[in-house]
């Protein structure tokens, strides 16, 4: 997989409903490759790519990745210049305290009651977002309003950092890894036609991908995403969900989708037969665009291929290139096998 492309994509800001800069970058990248394709952008902002193969496909196969990332939105500016906010997408408040967030060029820090000010049971509790503020260093609402407005959205102020050659961490890995892999697929002419969608607004309820699927009307679809690897502190194999470094995650179920059982088995077997490491999720956890695509049009045979990612939906999502490589090899193979 293309590490440089992942780094660039993770560095772009694009919370749900504000994917413009990510979309712009993706459209530029698509333009720069000379593979035969038709690219359209729908009214919601989904990017749809019909990638022409050397021959027509026997089955319409859609591969989807979402462009948006989790973030925050300013809901109120207090008289003391502090910003009240809500999260866009599901963000565990445990990871928020002390985080830097960025509204365009304006940086703020998420704060709240300091631990030495908490008494009794409060010390043991994780404060909710309702008890936090974003501090941009202003002392009055008038001063803050010159820099930000209610309704402004922010992202974590973390670019992708390489901890080792094979190991990265940063914001927006979910799902810029998927976008990276789709762009790599789009740069090679497949044997048979495939359809790609870079969708909007996944993190706030799988809103864009279903619309994309209505346009494409796939028979078979694959949601390409990141999923939580809980293989850290004190976890056991049955609670880890999946493990970083153990290959592409192929799901049989999550909270939004019961995947097509025959397709699930076929993908695991294809991985095994071709020396591509795959694993599954051993807990029914999380959800992704599969939930919307599966129920579109007249129904879709659905699969999901995900990156095992630690600290998902945090400023420091951690993952391995080897897992991204396994995903890309698997997706190339599926583009070939599922279109026959």
Give contact residues for Zn ion (rule: CB under 5 A).
174-175, 225
Among the listed residues 202, 203, 219, 337, the single catalytic one is: 202
Peptide bond into 175 cis (omega under 30): yes
Rounded least distance, CB 98 to Zn ion, Å: 24
Do 29 and 21 contact (CB within 8 A), yes or no? no
Q: How far is 29 from 205, CA to CA, in rounded Å?
A: 27
Peptide bond into 18 cis (omega under 30): no
Alpha helix (H) residue ranges in the chain: 3-10, 20-32, 141-145, 173-186, 207-216, 261-273, 290-293, 321-337
Annotation says 143 is catalytic = no
| Residue 252 DSSP symbol | S
Rounded least distance, CB 320 to Zn ion, Å: 17
**Terminal CA-CA length for the chain:** 25
Toward Zn ion, which CB reaches closer, 194 or 290? Answer: 290
Rounded least distance, CB 252 to Zn ion, Å: 18
Rounded least distance, CB 99 to Zn ion, Å: 19
Rounded least distance, CB 294 to Zn ion, Å: 16
Instruction: Report the phi/psi class of residue 123: left, alpha or beta, with left for phi > 0 and alpha for psi in -120 to 50.
Output: alpha
Toward Zn ion, which CB reaches closer, 228 or 296? Answer: 228
| Residue 128 DSSP symbol | P
Cα–Cα–Cα angle for 202, 261, 318, nearest 5°? Answer: 40
Rounded least distance, CB 204 to Zn ion, Å: 11
Pairing between strand 61-66 and 220-228?
A: parallel
Toward Zn ion, which CB reaches closer, 174 or 323? Answer: 174
User: Which residues are paired to 249 by β-bridges?
Assistant: 279, 306
Toward Zn ion, which CB reaches closer, 172 or 338? Answer: 172
Toward Zn ion, which CB reaches closer, 67 or 270? Answer: 67
Q: How far is 294 from 147, CA to CA, in rounded Å?
A: 43
Toward Zn ion, which CB reaches closer, 175 or 193? Answer: 175
Q: How far is 172 from 180, CA to CA, in rounded Å?
A: 12
Q: Annotated catalytic sites, by residue? A: 202
């Amino acid at each position: 997989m293309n590490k440089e492309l992942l780094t660039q994509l993770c560095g772009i800001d694009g919370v749900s409903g504000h994917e413009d800069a990510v979309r712009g970058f993706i459209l530029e990248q698509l333009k720069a490759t000379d593979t035969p394709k038709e690219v359209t952008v729908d009214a919601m902002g989904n990017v749809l790519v019909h990638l022409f193969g050397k021959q027509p496909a026997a089955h319409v196969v859609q591969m989807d990745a979402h462009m948006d990332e989790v973030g925050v939105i300013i809901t109120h500016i207090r008289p003391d210049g502090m910003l009240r906010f809500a999260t866009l997408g599901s963000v565990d408040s445990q990871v928020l305290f002390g985080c830097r967030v960025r509204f365009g060029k304006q940086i703020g820090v998420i704060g709240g009651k300091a631990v030495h000010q908490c008494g009794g049971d409060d010390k043991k509790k994780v404060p909710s977002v309702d008890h936090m503020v974003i501090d941009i260093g202003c002392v009055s609402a008038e001063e803050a309003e010159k820099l930000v407005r209610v309704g402004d959205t922010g992202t974590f102020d973390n670019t992708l950092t390489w901890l080792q050659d094979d190991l990265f961490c940063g914001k927006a890995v979910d799902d810029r890894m998927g976008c990276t892999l789709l762009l790599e697929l789009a740069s090679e002419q497949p044997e048979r036609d495939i359809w790609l969608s870079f969708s909007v607004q996944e993190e706030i309820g799988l809103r864009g991908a279903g619309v994309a699927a209505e346009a494409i009307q796939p028979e078979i679809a694959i949601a390409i995403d990141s999923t939580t690897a809980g293989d850290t502190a004190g976890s056991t194999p049955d609670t880890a969900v999946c493990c970083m470094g153990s290959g592409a995650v192929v799901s049989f179920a999550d909270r939004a989708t019961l995947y097509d059982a025959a397709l699930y088995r076929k993908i695991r077997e294809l991985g095994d037969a071709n020396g591509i490491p795959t694993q599954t999720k051993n807990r029914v956890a999380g959800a992704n665009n599969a939930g919307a695509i599966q129920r579109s049009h007249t129904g879709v045979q659905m699969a999901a291929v995900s990156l095992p990612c630690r600290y998902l939906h945090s400023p420091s999502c951690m993952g391995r290139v080897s897992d991204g490589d396994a995903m890309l090899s698997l997706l190339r193979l599926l583009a070939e096998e599922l279109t026959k």
